[in-house]
Structure formats: structure tokens, C-alpha cells
Amino acid sequence: MDYITIKLPFNANDGVAGELLSTAWLFKTVAHRVLAVAKQMQVLPGTKVGWVNMFRQIAYGIIPNRRYADSAVTLVMGVYESCRSLGVDFRSVELSNWLMFQQSELEYPNRNITLKPNYEFHVTTIRYNGTTSRVVVKPTIPRNHKELLDAILTEHIKYMGRVVVRDYGVRGSQLWVHGEIQVTVPMDVYYEHMARHRRNAGKLIGGADVNTDRINLAIIDEDGELIDHKTFWFSETSRKGFSRHSAWSIIGMRIHELLDYAYRHGVKTLFLENPEILGRLKLMWAKSGDRGHENYNHKVMTFRSSIIEKIAMKAPLYGIEVKYVNPRGTTNSTEHDETMKKHGLDRHTASAYLTALRGLKHQQK
């Protein structure tokens, strides 16, 4: 089953802010400790159960809550699996500058980050001395998310909860935290309650090539003939000094423009590149000293993968099904060069066309 995560911003002050910060720092301490011990192991388990059994005692000794302890272990396991997929030396990986805590178990109600009526979240927190408390967080709820949150409560939908600390400080002797409550739900539930276009009568195939400054879309028919193509630019976001928030706002708008264009031009299925890192975006929690590895351009790969993930998340809103193809050969190959010449395409649009064509061939098997 596929899942999607919605993000709900919040602000907290004084005691609540302190409780959230202590829990986040303890969670991160657990992740650091488990990572350090795991690096020393000659053999590591191949399953989640194995990882939890091996490291739970260490984790629980720092953050005495089973769900948080197991979730920190699972996060490190995700980094390990990502390193294996990318051919990166796991022992060279370090945790990056994140601050959050989560319950990675899907359950209803979520015991540690519990959605309540009136869109409140009752969050289990751990103080530095190990004592446990519960605090109330009231995030800002976009109007289009209220129906989804109501459905979680009325239909008893299992979900995963996460609290991310984006910023914190002291203002006028008062501690404050700005962050997000993140709620992960099944994709089909999200589509049922969030879809803008509930029916899609299109029959065409789309392919997208994602880059750091644009997304190229190519549309083909069932015979593989090129019907249309278009480029959606966001090159201004890569300028020095451009804020991250503004950049993602612009990229988000371009993604919606892409999907709306595809929907209105009859695209039913959209194929995207499936880089090795996709589906293992937990590696975004890590940084590596192994920058020179030929298969590991961390900054570009995670950025592109994040855009691909966002397209996949938003596509159901337009009744478009997303599928993935192996990107090998869609950028540098004889076929790619011939496609550019035959159709008069630039290299990125040619990549999008080959992605769509490869998806069509896979679909017809």
C-alpha cells in the first residue's frame, strides 16, 4: 500500500515548547547512539524486527518510550538500507541537522501523537529526566485538509505521526518552537477526500524528466507517437540567496501546473524516473563524507527525488496514476541522441519522451 504525508504547521511556547524540544533532542540522541553502535557491527540484521530486537535496549535507555525508541532504530535502519542501495559506505554516513521525533507504527488511534476532535494533537513527550507527559498542539489546518482529518477520526484510519522542529529560540525570556505535525495516511484515503478531479477519462501516457531547474513533460499515445510536450521552469529557485520556503512554493505551483496540463491534455498515467534513492528518502536524514562516489550526488539526488515524490503525491488529485521506470539510458544513450534528432527535442524533453515510451512498453507486457 502507498502512503502520503500531510504537513500541518504549528507554534508552541513556554512549557509546551520545552517538552517538544526535550523529546526531539532525546530522539536524535538515540539515533546518534544507534548509528554509532551499528557502524561497529560486522553483521547487521536484514529485517525491521531484527534491528529492533538488537537495538531496543540501547534506545529505550535514552528515551523510555517503546514507540519512540523503536522508531529511532527504524530511522537508522532506513539510512543503512539506503546506503546499501546506493553503494555508499555506511560507516562514512553521519546524521544531518534535523530535529524531530516520530512514531513510525501505523495505528489508530496513534498512541503517541494522537489526533483529537477540533483538530488538536495530544503528543506524548519525554523530559530529560525520563519522565513522561502529554501536551496539546494546535496546528494550523488548511481548509482542504479538514475533511481528511475528519475521516481519520470517523473511519478509524491508521496513521503515522511525526513532530518536526523547524526553528526554536527565546523571545522576551519566553521559549518558542515553530514546527510541523506530519500525518501519514494511505494514498487511497487521501485521494478519496482530496481529489479535485474525481474522474479521468484520458487515455494518453505522460513521461516527466525532473531536474533542478525544470520539469519536462512529454505526452504520447498508445502507439508511442509524440502528441505534445511542455517545460515547466523554476530556475529562479536556484539563485543564491533564494529562500528555501519560497523555492518550494514556486516548485509546488509548477507541479500543479504540470499535473493540470497533463490532466487537461488527456494523460491517464504518468511515468517518472525511479532513481535508486526513491522510496528510500530516509537518506535525506543523513549526510555523507563519501561525496566523490560516482553513484552518490547527495544534494542533487535528494532534491530531484523530493520533487518526484511531490509529483507522485499530488497526481491523485488530478486522477492521474503514477508509475516508475528505470531511468538508465533515458539521458545518455544512442536512443536518446536519435530521439532528439528525430523529433527536434532538447535533451530533457527527449528524456521525458523516452521515460513515457519505456513506461508504455512496460505497461503493454
* 228-233: long-range pairs with CB below 8 Å, 24+: 228/265, 229/345, 229/349, 229/352, 229/353, 230/258, 230/261, 231/348, 231/349, 232/257, 232/258, 232/261
| pLDDT, position 299 | 58
Highest mean pLDDT, choosing among 18-22, 73-77, 285-289: 18-22
pLDDT-based confidence at residue 335 (cuts at 50, 70, 90): confident
| pLDDT, position 330 | 58
Residue 10 phi, psi (nearest 5): -150, 165
| pLDDT, position 313 | 80
| pLDDT, position 86 | 64
| pLDDT, position 281 | 40
Question: Which string of DSSP letters, residue by residue, matches 40-54?
Answer: H-SS--SSHHHHHHH
Top-confidence residue, 198 or 135: 135
pLDDT-based confidence at residue 285 (cuts at 50, 70, 90): low
pLDDT tens string 172-210: 889 999 999 999 988 778 877 877 655 788 999 999 999
Cα-based distances in Å from 146 to 120, 139, 175, 217:
12, 12, 29, 32
Q: Enter the pTM of the model.
A: 0.77
Mean pLDDT of 350-357: 92
| pLDDT, position 280 | 45
Instruction: Give the strand order in the sheet containing 267-273.
Output: 226-233, 214-220, 204-210, 267-273, 321-325
Q: Residue 165 forms beta bridges with which residues?
A: 179
| pLDDT, position 295 | 44
DSSP state of 321: E
The whole-angstrom separation of Cα 44 and Cα 99 is 26
What is the number of other CB atoms lying within 10 angstroms of the CB of residue 204? 19
Question: Which string of DSSP letters, residue by residue, matches 217-244?
Answer: EEEE-TT--EEEEEEEE-GGGGSTT--H
Mean pLDDT of 126-134: 96
| pLDDT, position 362 | 78
pLDDT tens string 73-94: 999 998 888 777 667 788 888 8
User: Are 310 and 248 within 8 A, CB to CB?
Assistant: no
**Domains of the chain with bracketed CATH:** 3-194 (no CATH), 204-364 (3.30.420.10)
| pLDDT, position 197 | 56
